[in-house]
Structure 1
Amino acid sequence: MADPFDAALDLLRRLPPSKTQQNLNGIISLRPDLEEDLLSAVDVALAVKRCSKTGRDYLCCDYNRDGNSYRSPWSNAFEPPIDPDDAADLIPGGRVRRMEENLNTAVDVYRELYYEGGTSSAYLWALDDGFAGVVLFKKSTNASASAGKGGWDSIHVFEVNEAAGKRSAHYRLTSTVILDLGLSSQSVDNLDLAGNLTRQTQADLSCGFRDSEVELQHVVNIGRTVEDMETRMRNMLQEVYFGKAKDVVGDLRSIQPLSEAEKDRAAHRDVLEKMQR
């Protein structure tokens, strides 16, 4: 008999990507014992919550979650509050919290420049030989007759290994982009395009020569790595995936009426025949 967790993942891969959250909730309702494993293994569109202490929006994911509570990067507190003993282990402090605050400030500027809206969040946690974190971006548009609907979710999970006595660190980044587009009009009827793309990269980067520079240099290195990865993934989506989808849809159904297309082909053949003569 197949393992229930593997079977659930296989089922989600075969169902429409645009309904991953709905299907995930259905599977969890049938098998509540798989909830933690599925939530940590399946990438879904990010949810937005508002910090009650600062009034700023932040993004929710498995990396800032404890049960049904989520930690705000702006107040560094869980909402709803969790047990103080658990909070001591889950809420970062010291240099990790300082870097988290600086990273949130940096990605907020990046979000405004590149997305011109949307929501961003960054979360860090300590490791034995360094630290790890996640940078999140989300932007969505409402459905309209002219522009349709669209949603972009970026999840960048990274790990930083700091070698003792060295002024460099090893950065490993795993990025996932979840895209959901839809259009409904008389010319194309109903069109849905959804899916996700995951890529990885790693590099050894300098962290500065003075201890006071290390924290800020980590933020700079993470920001540049995320920016480069997002640019590559966006170009890949636009040139490869959208280009291929456009070719396939164009072969299946033409927006131009067949009668007009046949006239264009006839005119094209007529020009070629005259050139040959």
Structure 2
Amino acid sequence: MSTDGQFDSALDLLRRLPPSSTSANLTRICALAPDLTEELLSSVDQPLEVRRCKKTGRDYLLCDYNRDGDSWRSPWSNEFEPAIEGEDEGAKPSERVRKLEMGMGEAVDIYRELYYEGGVSSVYFWDLDDGFAGVVLLKKTTPTGKSDGGWDSIHVFESIDRARTSHYKLTSTVILRLSTSSDALGDMDLSGNMTRQIEQDMPVTDDSSHIVNVGKLVEDMELKMRNLLQEVYFGKAKDVVGDLRSIPPLTEANREKATHQEMINSMKR
């Protein structure tokens, strides 16, 4: 099988396996097909990992956008951990883009505390020929106990400079997982992901405008996706449970359903 065929098959397989086991299954596929490792890691969204910056003592999130080999760049210290030996110290943003990255990182950290009341956030920027790009990461997990859950949001954007405006393209992915196990409720596993994309031109007066514009796009997108997840995941789960579990006697429920159908049929005549 060609490399392209193997890659397509791997993505197809991951889509059919439980979303809660994406990381473990991705590791197994990479072990079977090492040549696909880089491409799969950059294409498949998986729950974010947390690491503590040795220099500042602040937590940050790991992703493909701050990775160089087996090292990850801390957004707080701008240094790779573990350090990269040799002349190549790893890919880092320019001075201007690094300043934007720091400003956006502090803004997102405030947003995380206000909206999530905990969790971890990280922001990474990099240079483009006609602008810059970046990723905003947010992670929140439930306290350790009988239930296990987490929210991971990944917002990748690019900003293309134009006269007095910038063209923003945002691709957002949310990974949601909820599971619980108890004698009273039994086992439940609700997990999956959702991806949405938007493009928009917004006015720019100086570099600080980028922080405001990107922040607004991310905040609006997260609100929309939270509402969609509430309707799709929780609303559908409620409907399924309601159909499976009947509080009134089944004979009474069937009688009401027959009466309702009879009324509908009479209206069609």
Asked if Structure 1 and Structure 2 have the same fold, meaning a TM-score greater than 0.5 normalized by the shorter chain, the answer is yes
Q: In the alignment, residue 94 of structure 1 is paired with which amino acid?
A: E
Pair 1:108–1:264, CA change in 2 (3 A): farther
Secondary structure at 2:230 match in 1: helix
**Per-residue deviation at 1:265?**
4.2
Pair 1:128–1:250, CA change in 2 (3 A): same
| Other-structure match for 1:8 | 10
| Other-structure match for 2:165 | 168
| Other-structure match for 1:231 | 223
Which consecutive aligned stretches of 4+ in structure 1 deviate over 2 angstroms post-superposition? 83-88, 142-145, 185-188, 263-266
| Other-structure match for 1:275 | none
**Per-residue deviation at 1:263?**
8.4
For residue 44 of structure 1, the aligned residue among 43, 46, 58 is 46
Secondary structure at 1:86 match in 2: coil
| Other-structure match for 1:73 | 75
Question: Are 1:199 and 2:196 counterparts?
Answer: yes
Deviations 1:176-195 (A, max 9, x none): 00001012223331000010
| Other-structure match for 1:247 | 239
TM-score by length of 1: 0.87
Contiguous gaps of at least 5 residues in structure 2: 260-269
| Other-structure match for 2:110 | 109
**Per-residue deviation at 1:149?**
1.6
Contact 2:94 2:127 in 1 (8 A): no
Q: 2: CA distance between counterparts of 1:264 and 1:215?
A: 68
For residue 183 of structure 2, the aligned residue among 156, 170, 186 is 186
Contiguous gaps of at least 5 residues in structure 1: 209-213, 273-277
Secondary structure at 1:55 match in 2: coil
Deviations 1:40-77 (A, max 9, x none): 01000000000000000000000000111000000000
Q: In the alignment, residue 236 of structure 2 is paired with which amino acid?
A: K
Question: Are 1:262 and 2:249 counterparts?
Answer: yes
**Per-residue deviation at 1:83?**
3.8
Q: In the alignment, residue 185 of structure 1 is paired with which amino acid?
A: S
Secondary structure at 1:52 match in 2: coil
Q: 2: CA distance between counterparts of 1:39 and 1:265?
A: 54
Question: Are 1:218 and 2:218 counterparts?
Answer: no
**Per-residue deviation at 1:142?**
3.3
| Other-structure match for 1:34 | 36
Pair 1:249–1:70, CA change in 2 (3 A): same
**Per-residue deviation at 1:125?**
0.3
| Other-structure match for 1:17 | 19
Q: In the alignment, residue 179 of structure 1 is paired with which amino acid?
A: L
Q: 1: CA distance between counterparts of 2:156 and 2:85?
A: 26
Indicate the larger mover: 49-58 or 238-247: 238-247
Contact 1:143 1:150 in 2 (8 A): no
Contact 2:130 2:160 in 1 (8 A): yes
Contact 1:175 1:198 in 2 (8 A): yes
Q: In the alignment, residue 131 of structure 1 is paired with which amino acid?
A: F
Q: 2: CA distance between counterparts of 1:12 and 1:263?
A: 40
Q: 2: CA distance between counterparts of 1:248 and 1:188?
A: 15
